[in-house]
């Protein structure tokens, strides 16, 4: 078993994740947080791949129709 040292501030933050104060040890809390991260990581893709897919998936904006005054023309159907 390994021993780690953490700051009082981090220890206080870990205590916020305690569900059962009689059974939850720091190891159980850390294990629970690591499990959450693992589960979330399996749903994430790399940022680079995601950005490329988003750019390809977004439709290109249509050019606006402007009148002689330079203002955009808007039509309404009644």
Structure token pair of residue 67: 């009148």
Q: Using an 8 Å Cβ cutoff, are 66 and 72 in contact? A: yes
In angstroms, how far is the first alpha carbon of the chain from the final one? 75
pLDDT at 66 over 60: no
pLDDT of 1: 83
**What residue ranges do the domains of the chain occupy?**
8-54
Cα separation, 22 vs 48, whole angstroms: 44
For 4-42, write each residue's pLDDT tens digit: 899 999 988 888 888 888 888 888 988 988 998 999 888
Kindly state the average pLDDT of the residues 46-50: 59
């Amino acid at each position: 078993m390994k021993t780690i040292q953490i700051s009082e501030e981090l220890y206080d933050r870990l205590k916020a994740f305690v569900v059962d104060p009689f059974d939850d040890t720091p190891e159980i809390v850390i294990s629970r947080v690591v499990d959450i991260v693992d589960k979330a990581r399996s749903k994430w893709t790399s940022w680079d791949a995601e950005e490329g897919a988003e750019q390809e998936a977004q439709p290109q904006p249509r050019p606006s129709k402007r009148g002689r005054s330079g203002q955009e023309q808007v039509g309404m159907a009644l």
